[in-house]
Structure 1
Amino acid sequence: MDHWRSESPHGQIDQWESRRTMDRFLKQVAAVGFSAIDVFDFRWYQIVGDYGSVRNYQEFVQQRGLERIVNIFHAADYDPRTYAPHIRETHKNILEDFKATIDRWAEIELDNVVVMPATLYYDMEPVTEDKIKVAAELWNRVGALTADAGVKLACHHEFFCGIRSRSELETFYANTDPALVHLFIDTAQHCISGVDPVELYEAYADRVSGFHFKDTRNQDLVGDYRRRPDAEVMADTTERWFYEMGDEGGLVDFESLMRAIVRHGYEGYIGVEHDKADKLGGDYAESTAISRWYAKNVLERIVSEERES
């Protein structure tokens, strides 16, 4: 996933700083054995400015040894006045936004457009069944747009999302069309919300179209998901929420999840995300290498065992 920071003579930068920094980033990701990348949708502006087109940027990616861009994450600027899935009056604006998004990325083949399907929790509460149904109504319409373009709409539920608990997830997916609205499982985010990602996958395996694999050491037991304006940054209970797969204190059971993934016949990509990996002295490049080690030496072994059995 698109998160990456490194130090430079003029301070902390990301891989989009220049073609040179992007070149080094892509080579590092390819060198440790990853196959492809995901990007945030808002990077489109920078891509067009720096590379001329989305197709040109993907060719740049492929020349560094990676297959392609798999998913885009549509990080919308949620605002109850203009852009809020649970408020029907904003749906026209959101639909127009997605029409533009589909057009921008039409040059390349994508698997998913990934979205957080609700506003921040504190902008939606009290979260009611009726509000979730209104949001579901919107995403059925957006899913029809993306399906017509050959791309799946995949919903990613952060722990601070307005639809976060198991009961809220069940209401949402009961009111969305399985052919149009898919689930994108982020192992750490669900775990922080008190939702077991293995159980969630088992329940919705036929609707899952992608994953973010990362670990966490903490569940949110005190309502940090209500912190303004950014729960991941403002929570004074937890300085670092996310860790690499296989972390010694991690709560996610990746081995059981991988066995379930093989058993259900999932054939898509599995993404690794290092969100805020530089907290408490962490390092993005190191996290990427450690996660690839775990994927190769633990998860790939499980895949082989499951297929042999």
Structure 2
Amino acid sequence: MTDASQRAIKWSYMDHWRSNGPSGPVDQWHSHKTMSAFLKQVKAVGFDAIDTFDFRIWQMYGDYGGPAKYQEMVTDHGLERIVNTFHAADYDTRTYAPHLPETHENILEDFRVTMGRWSEIQLDNIIVMPATLYYDMEPVTEDKLKHTAELWNKVGEITAGFGVKLTCHHEFFCGIQSEPDIDTFYSYTDPQYVNLFVDTAQHCIAGLDPVALYNKHAHRVSGFHFKDTRHVATGDDHRHRPDSEIMAPTTGKWFYEMGTPQGLVDFEAMMTAVRDNGYTGWISVEHDKANKEGGDYSESTAISRWYAKNVLEEIYR
């Protein structure tokens, strides 16, 4: 068996999770006991590390004593570390809208403070949605894309000062989600400071081919969310307040694990592209809202890890 440190690809688990408690779904951050059970399950099926959300830092401070202390718990359960954190900002156009220059200083200060908090541990990426929700940015113009790029170039300089990559994740309801807008955005950003984080399902829902998008921008890609979908957004699916993933009336459940029947993402082609582009390092598996319509997080996690080991790792040896 190959040692994890020698493998070209390692697998991190993005920590969306719910388990069933006596009073309903229980978040793994509910207690040290529920966190321990979560970490044991993730490790048992063969993941190497975890990703988390930026807002979890408050629970790390309150329940564990900070990011370094929480990471000690992660490593005590046999996982390597925390690889990435997702900066889930509140995109309020009054204070936090990348296409509006008057909000930039507030966003920059947010990242100065945020990176200081995380400096106890070494992250690979801080992941951002690079634009407001689509309905707050439309119409998407070249000037708006330029303003947005200018902001993230500056944010990327801040994160680089802490040894962390700034990487952009394009949800299907994000202001920058079409292929032409994504291409324009990256043409205005500095490759030294702004990277792309490919979410296979989100791009597919937005009507893009995630494999083709990755091949086009492979030199800018610093990570992946591997998850599947059975649906492409139609009509105004990407325009529903406050969250299109929940509010779009056409689709009850957007996201599925790798290996799901009727999945639209060609993961074998994606893994072939990952190999052929020479990508090495971490791939994150994500199960966003896996428990909708009778789904189960632990089941989805086990199935996706089986798929990663028995299908994808056979492609990338």
Report the TM-score when normalising by structure 2.
0.95
Q: Structure 2: any 5+ residue segments left out of the alignment?
A: 1-13
Matching residue of 1:87: 100
**1:26-65 correspondence to structure 2 within 5 Å:** 26-65=39-78
Summarize deviations over 1:144-168 as a string: whole Å, max 9, x none. Answer: 1111110000000000000000001
1:195 Cα deviation from its structure 2 partner = 1.0
* Pairing 1:1-309 to 2, within 5 Å after superposition: 1-304=14-317
The Cα shift of 1:186 comes to 0.3
Deviation of 1:264 after TM superposition, in Å, equals 1.1
Cα offsets for 1:114-133 (capped at 9, x unmatched): 00000000111111111011
Task: Give the Cα separation in 2 of the matches to 1:195 and 1:175.
Answer: 21
Distance 2:31 2:143 in 1: 46
SS of the equivalent of 2:282 reads coil
Offset of residue 247 of structure 1: 1.4
CA-CA distance at 1:205 after TM superposition: 0.6
Larger relative contact order, structure 1 or 2 (CA cutoff 8 Å, min sep 6): 2
Alignment deviations for residues 236-289 of structure 1 (CA, whole Å, 9 cap, x no partner): 100010011121101101001101111111112000000000111000000000
TM-score where L is the length of structure 1: 0.97
Q: Counterparts of 2:21 and 2:76 in 1: how far apart (Å)?
A: 25
Give 1:163's aligned amino acid.
I
- Please report how far the alpha carbon of residue 53 of structure 1 lies from its aligned counterpart in structure 2 after TM superposition: 1.5
Q: Which runs of 4+ in 1 moved over 4 A?
A: none
Return the letter of the residue paired with 1:282: G
In structure 2, what is the Cα distance between the partners aligned to 1:52 and 1:148?
A: 24
Partners of 2:211 and 2:66 lie apart in 1 by 39
Deviates more, 1:6-15 or 1:77-86: 6-15
Tell me the matched-pair count.
304
User: Residue 297 of structure 1: SS of its match in structure 2?
Assistant: helix
Q: Which has the higher mean CA deviation after the structures are superposed, 122-131 or 160-169?
A: 122-131
Which residue number in structure 1 is paired with residue 6 of structure 2?
none
Any idea what SS the aligned residue of 2:316 has? helix
> Hey, what's the Cα distance between the residues in 2 that align with 1:221 and 1:201?
23
Which amino acid in 1 is paired with 2:70?
Y
Instruction: Describe the SS at the equivalent of 2:232.
Output: coil
Q: Percent identity?
A: 68
3-state DSSP class of the match of 2:289?
coil
CA apart distance, 1:7:
1.2
Question: Quick one: which amino acid aligns to residue 298 of structure 2?
Answer: A
Matches of 1:48 and 1:64 in 2, distance apart? 19
- Aligned-residue CA RMSD (Å): 0.6
**Cα distance, 1:12 vs structure 2:** 1.4
| 2:137 alignment partner AA | M
Give 2:4's aligned residue.
none
Mapped to 2, the partners of 1:201 and 1:189 lie a distance apart of 13
Instruction: Output the CA distance in 2 between the equivalents of 1:101 and 1:266.
Output: 28
Structure 2: distance between partners of 1:233 and 1:191: 17
Query: Any stretches of 5+ residues in structure 1 without a counterpart?
Result: 305-309
